[in-house]
Chain A
């Protein structure tokens, strides 16, 4: 079983739609949680950290459920530029740094006109 599980997609949605991605992790000792975005053949880039209380950054909302070991990302009002692969990432370290990140395989999003 993978340490971080994600639906690989692809999710094909029209512009303006709301889309949600889910992720589960198996290591209950995980302390830090992130969503990264990766464009085709590019490097992963931090989209947002995920906090227990849930957090929002513009059109993006992340939620964490430690009891269920479940992380989600909601994108509202999708833009063409949101098309990318979204990586769910966890770390056993409660430092906020990215040492020894564990990645999911990613969920691919394609936003269309």
Chain B
């Protein structure tokens, strides 16, 4: 069974440009999460989808970040316009609905803004 897949794995963009990260969760997982780790800091929660609905977006840093999950399958995270401090690794994760289920992380999308 395929795990959580993320695309692109690496991206280098200039300040002011737009980047869209994509996440394909494990098939059948209703819960989808975005986390990120910026240089020297801990991994931090961004938001949580249950199917296509945003359950919790309290971790989104500002309105330059837009996450969507149309149809409740894959998700995209768009950064527009990108700033230098957005550099880091963006992890997507998914889990089945229900209590006691393990979360599975993707390998991350490494973003460098120059």
| A residues lining the B interface (CB < 8 Å) | 2, 4, 42-46, 87, 95-106
Contacts and interface: CB of A to CB of B under 8 A. Distances in A.
A77 to B, nearest CB: 25
Contacts of B95: 97-98
Interface stretch (B14-22, B62-70, B77-85, B104-112): B104-112
Contacts of B108: 43
Interface string B53-67: 001101100000000
Contacts of A4: 42
Give the size range of B's interface with the partner. 20 to 34
A98 B42 contact: no
17 contacts: A42-B107, A43-B106, A87-B43, A96-B99, A96-B100, A97-B31, A97-B95, A97-B98, A99-B33, A99-B48, A100-B56, A101-B35, A101-B43, A101-B45, A101-B103, A103-B44, A105-B41
A2 B41 CA distance: 10
B91 interface: yes
B24 to A, nearest CB: 14
Given A43-B107, A44-B105, A101-B43, 12 more contacts: A43-B91, A43-B106, A43-B108, A46-B102, A95-B99, A96-B99, A99-B33, A100-B48, A101-B45, A101-B103, A102-B45, A105-B42
A96 B31 CA distance: 13
